[in-house]
Structure 1
């Protein structure tokens, strides 16, 4: 399998702050690769160095077999970049925006109109960008990044601040982009998004990559208990340990009784024999649990 991105021991500091501190990873061609991390982890700085928008202090980056820095004109037609905040041209419609972006790459109006259809904005083609909803504007920014048919696409938190429906619609679009054979690199704060979309993820904090693997492998590697919930009232918190051996913690909020265990099969059998399975929910570890285990639970603004 060929490699689209190779990053080797990249470092970037601003004064005493080490924004990127010895980052190394590879992204295979056709892969959907995610970079996860809390605020200030170094995700965006890393991505900007890989894209050729920022120079690293030390280390090397190879992008589609080329060095992205100094700014490499050979790479510009081959990559598409959607930044956290896209600045559109003022007072232009969605179609005019795409035609303008396309013209910068020598792409004709027909291709731009096809991109409007791909991102589901054909009905909004004549709408000025300031009148688009947040989700529609994000779709347009992705269309602008794809209008020249790049091999490699960078998406920096594309679903930030979107409502759940807009996020899920955008997920369908991102999956479709990847299924055409494009390599996609995504940064996101949403663990469910990364778990659903990414082939592999890198979890970053304090400028370092802590772990890289598939979401499933990262979850399997976490020694976390299973959470089991049933309707409250059928069984009291005090009764749980009597009915089911192996229960570690019990919580009752008045509506749902939740407990954790490392022996879910034994506990579920005991609950079934006691006929207290109403409202049963079983939740194993998720990528969010892995993320919190590696980066901590402290809130960062």
Structure 2
């Protein structure tokens, strides 16, 4: 006899939607939010330097709009991800309690949540230059397709990185009118970091993913996973060092912000030491530790921008 689930109460339904959009787990919000704000801050630095000034800060409006956009688009990405994975999440230990996997929400409700969140994000574009609207199509397309990539390629983490990182060129378009070479270098650095930490995330699910036929960089890299993660992290540090040099070397700070990346290097070393065991929980904890990377790099950039704005 087939048992039917009792109707959810309003409180249970709202919690199910929170789980669908991961508002109950803000880790992913921060992993998207902080790099978005890196782009906003550095784009403002670039704009004033183009005008012959030493430094400057973004407007509060731009800062808040991009912060909200990051929150909405990350939640939208989670909703469409669970829709794409609704038939496989139930077979993965870590994800079998998600609301689509256990039947608390339907596929139609997940699509509805995705559309509402995308519309919320789109509504923010009315307060930004029209050029940002055109660039936003890339963000929406990438956010929609990346959850499906794990069925066709071992590089879904690259599509995730592009989807999350697209806010960086959008920030440059909003502030400067167009992305420049330093924007794309920042985007590339973010891509390397994201592929690295999302591979750590995938390492936690690797055994289940192999069983159900889902692809990932963790499976592709195999026994070289930690080495490749370390290389990606090294490239991130090198590019970020170049970006910080470009923006702050001409100021009174000189190359001081670059030395701040030494702590990030130590964070990465600790993560890789944990991942070397290939233990699922250790790999997942290493992934979670990247929140501090995002926070710390934002702190470096924000403090440097404020310092140079005040002191020249």
> TM-score with structure 1 length normalisation?
0.27
Higher strand share: 1
RCO (CA 8 Å, sep 6+): is it higher in 1 or 2? 2
- Structure possessing the higher radius of gyration over alpha carbons: 1
Which structure features the higher share of helix residues?
2
Please give the TM-score of this superposition, normalised by the length of structure 2.
Answer: 0.26
